Copies of this chain bind each other. A is one copy, B any other.
Amino acid sequence: MSVTIRDVARVSGFSIKTVSNVINGHPQLRPETRKRVEDAIEQLGYRPNLSARNLRSGRSGVIGLIIPDLTTAYFAELADAVMRAAAERGLAVLIEPIGSGRENELAALRGQHRHMVDGVIYSSLTLGASDAELLKGVDTPLVVLGDTSFDGQVDRITMANTSGARAATEHLLAAGRRRVLALAAHEGDIVASAELRLAGYREALEAAGLSFDPNLVCYADSWHRRGGAAAMTKLLKDGLSFNAVFAFNDTLALGAMRVLQEAGVRIPEDVAIVGFDDLDETRYSLPALSTVNPRRDKIAKAAVETLLRRIEGGAELDAREIETDFLLQVRESSGGALKGVSGANSAA
């Protein structure tokens, strides 16, 4: 019923092979031939059948994206970025939300969609360095997004946790704040990124000649708004003194900011705040939240490119690790008038 390459061949007067050459953009074609074939394609409304093409080529043109869920802003925005990057390379994305927990993550690696996709981008929270063997055993091309190193055994894209955190802290210190609270969380196993961001925080203190005060490091019991709010409530009750906050992610920052404001603390006059992630909503909070933009666009692009390279190159290829740069997004919560600061790009 639908138009096939055969119809195009018949109408254009050329062979199937020639039509195929036109479709696939082979260079050695007489312009006139190309033109006539294209006219026939246009006239018939021909579109290649992807199932057939895939059957032949062994590819599907679809990549998988494994994330915990789509309702957390962070992952929704990550998915959005990956879809855009994939679209640019003509790929479609099949999202597999797997819920939280280590078992789910492991199960996803053997998921049912594996046979529909050419490769998988896998945003992992719970896998650790000791799982490198496991990941190598996966026969689907795989790129991991995450902060845990797998000793160069798996393709991985990561964000500038340490340098981004350092820049955020330095920005607060540069404004004259000397008591910068570090607000982190333990929940889940995202510990890797918390450690890296803490390291950046300490680097900034050191560079400024300030000593590290463990009392200024606070752990919320979740990475969400509520966790940030609860932690800040406790800190205020305890009477801790500080004039700036570097929260390890935006939702912690938003929760903490909320509690500070309810307590009559002015932001940024009394306490300046910077978050991490640059979620869309940070632009709309009151005041707008300063934050570290981890360049999800670049992460997504690097992930897609790396996956494509792996799909084409096969398992023998050496694993690649890429760390993208960051952008310090200065908004109202930490000053306002300052310009954004660019981060350095480093790769391993």
Contacts and interface: CB of A to CB of B under 8 A. Distances in A.
A113 B94 contact: no
Task: State the copy count for this chain.
Answer: 2
Contacts of A60: 50-51
B62 A115 contact: no
Interface in A51-70: 51-52, 54-55, 60-62, 69-70
Interface stretch (A72-80, A119-127, A204-212): A72-80
A62 B281 CA distance: 32
A71 interface: yes
A93 interface: yes
Given A92-B94, A224-B284, A70 B51 contact: no
B62 A55 contact: no
A347 to B, nearest CB: 28
Contact of A115 (B47, B83, B95): B47
Given A49-B55, A113-B92, A71 B76 contact: yes
A315 interface: no
B76 A70 contact: yes
Interface string A275-293: 0000011001010000000
A229 interface: yes
Contact of A116 (B50, B95, B226): B50
Contacts of A94: 62, 92-94
A258 interface: yes
Given A76-B76, A284-B226, A52 B49 contact: no
B62 A70 contact: no
Contacts of A62: 62, 94, 116
Given A51-B54, A73-B73, 19 more contacts: A49-B55, A50-B60, A50-B115, A50-B116, A51-B51, A52-B55, A61-B116, A62-B62, A62-B94, A70-B77, A70-B80, A71-B76, A79-B95, A80-B97, A92-B94, A92-B116, A93-B94, A93-B95, A229-B286
Main secondary structure, interface of A, reads helix
Given A62-B94, A94-B62, A224-B284, A115 B80 contact: no
A333 B54 CA distance: 54
A137 B266 CA distance: 57
Given A258-B286, A261-B262, A83 B70 contact: yes
A111 to B, nearest CB: 10
Given A71-B76, A76-B71, A262-B261, A281 B51 contact: no
Given A54-B51, A262-B261, A83 B61 contact: no
Contacts of A54: 51
A286 B260 CA distance: 13
19 contacts: A49-B55, A50-B60, A51-B51, A51-B52, A51-B54, A51-B55, A61-B116, A62-B62, A62-B116, A69-B80, A70-B70, A70-B76, A70-B79, A71-B73, A71-B77, A71-B80, A94-B94, A224-B284, A225-B284
Nearest to A80: B70
Contacts of A55: 49, 51-52, 55
Contacts of A258: 286
A271 to B, nearest CB: 17
